Amino acid sequence: MSDDDKGLFQNTRHLVRMAGIFAAGIVAFVGMRMLLVPEGFGRYGHYRAPAIGDNMKKPISYAGRDACAECHADVVEARKASKHVGIGCEACHGALALHTSDPAKSKAVKPKAAQLCPACHEQNVARPKWFKQVNGAEHSGGEACDSCHAPHAPEL
């Protein structure tokens, strides 16, 4: 009878010891997890949720044509009937977010037609056939494109 009691007592001590080790392991796991897993990880998937915000934060360089139209209504009007109507202003004039945020501080630079126009319109066999192309040397003999064509409405 007393032997049985002793045996039971010994077994209980074993179990308590094991439970203690398990508990310590779980506490260590939860603690490590809280330390090592970054904020928001796993909220929407296997990634840091704040990374979405990080990608949103960057500043813009290209303001978009709507921002240009707010001040330059005359150019919008000039392009209306032209084939160039669909082209974004910054396709030719370059990134202008600095200019639209403070027009006095940062000025837009007028592009040079002799370099700008051939980027699209110089003859190239890989260009689609419907697109207007010229052999610059034959077409104007070195004359600047904008001496005949108005860039905002190039049709003659």
Give the residue, chosen from 16, 18, 24, 37, that forms a contact with other proteins under the rule CB under 8 A.
37
Q: How far lies 114's CA from each of 35, 84, 121, 145, in Å?
A: 61, 17, 11, 6
Under the criterion CB under 8 A, does residue 60 sit at the interface with other proteins? yes
Distance CA 6, CA 73 (A): 98
Nearer to other proteins (CB atom), residue 64 or residue 150: 64
Site string for other proteins, 82-111 (x = CB under 8 A): ----xxx-xx--xx----------------
How big is the site for other proteins, counted in residues (CB under 8 A)? 48
**What single letter denotes the amino acid at residue 30?**
V
Nearest Cα to Cα of residue 69 among 85, 53, 46, 82: 85
| C-beta of 25 vs 50, nearer to other proteins | 50
